[in-house]
Amino acid sequence: MNSENYYPFAYVPLPYSFDALRPHISEYTMYFHHDKHYKNYLDKLNSILAKHPLWQNIPLEVLTKMGDEDLQKNAGGTYNHELYFNSLTPDYKDPSANMKNLIAHSFGSEKELYSAIIDASVGHNGSGWVWVVFTPEKNLEIMVTPNHETIDFDKYIPLLIIDLWEHAYYLDRQNDRREYLSAVMKLLDWEKAEMRLNGMK
Ligand SMILES: [Fe+2]
């Protein structure tokens, strides 16, 4: 994630190599997704802020909620992509005992959580993002936001996010969003999810 959290926002390198997520996500997809799509949002965000000094001291999370359409799109595109690349790992490890309890409490089992994520994603019409969040009631919950919109950060802690835009999977799987989601379930970074739960980025 962006460690500065204020303008100018730094380019955050992919935390693993482009080919590390194979065979689930190809090197080609990861290269275009990170170095073209994500970087494009980041560059546009910085260029918008360069022209608006009053927005330069606003944290990234808040910028994603602002009414200006171009600003929202590029701030959300930056925030969500940085969280996405840090929601995946080539070194999948099962959730910790603590996280397993939380999953069981909220969904019954990991299998049921994964089914719910996939169903919510496939049921969403068009581009967007699916989130696993921690609620004020101390549950896990799945949320879907359209386009590059974000969740209510005052209320929910984002633990994991998955990109539902076709550019995330079209090169590998054409329009098969369900197959992409099934593959991503084997890449979720539960260690980082738990760090976010504990207030560490
Ligand atoms: Fe994307």
Domain boundaries, the chain: 27-85, 97-197
Q: How far is the CA of 56 from the centre of ligand 1 (A)?
A: 24
Ligand 1 centroid to residue 147 C-alpha, Å? 10
Q: What is the pLDDT of residue 200?
A: 74
Residue 32 CA to ligand 1 centre (angstroms) = 9
Q: How far is CA 146 from the centre of its chain?
A: 13
In three-state secondary structure terms, 93 is: coil
Report how far ligand 1's centroid is from the alpha carbon of 34 (Å). 8
pLDDT at 168: 96
Q: Give this prediction's pTM.
A: 0.96
Angstrom distance (rounded) from CA 92 to CA 129: 21
pLDDT at site 60:
97
CATH fold match for the domains 27-85 and 97-197: no
**Residue type (1 letter), 196:** R
Ligand 1 centroid to residue 178 C-alpha, Å: 16
Which residues have CB atoms below 5 A from the ion given as ligand 1? Answer: 163, 165
Per-residue pLDDT of the chain (201 residues; tens, 9 = 90+): 665 689 999 999 999 999 999 999 999 999 999 999 999 999 999 999 999 999 999 999 999 999 999 999 999 999 999 999 999 999 999 999 999 999 999 999 999 999 999 999 999 999 999 999 999 999 999 999 999 999 999 999 999 999 999 999 999 999 999 999 999 999 999 999 999 999 875
Give burial (CB, 10 Å; 0-12/13-18/19+) of 136: exposed
Q: For domain 97-197, give its CATH number from 3.40.50.2300, 3.55.40.20, 3.40.50.720, 3.30.1130.10.
A: 3.55.40.20
Q: What is the 164 CA–ligand 1 centroid distance (Å)?
A: 7
What superfamily does domain 27-85 belong to in CATH?
Answer: Fe,Mn superoxide dismutase (SOD) domain (1.10.287.990)
Q: Crossing angle for the helix pair 97-107 and 190-197, nearest 10 degrees?
A: 80
Q: Is the peptide bond before 59 cis (omega within 30 degrees of 0)?
A: no
pLDDT at 69: 96
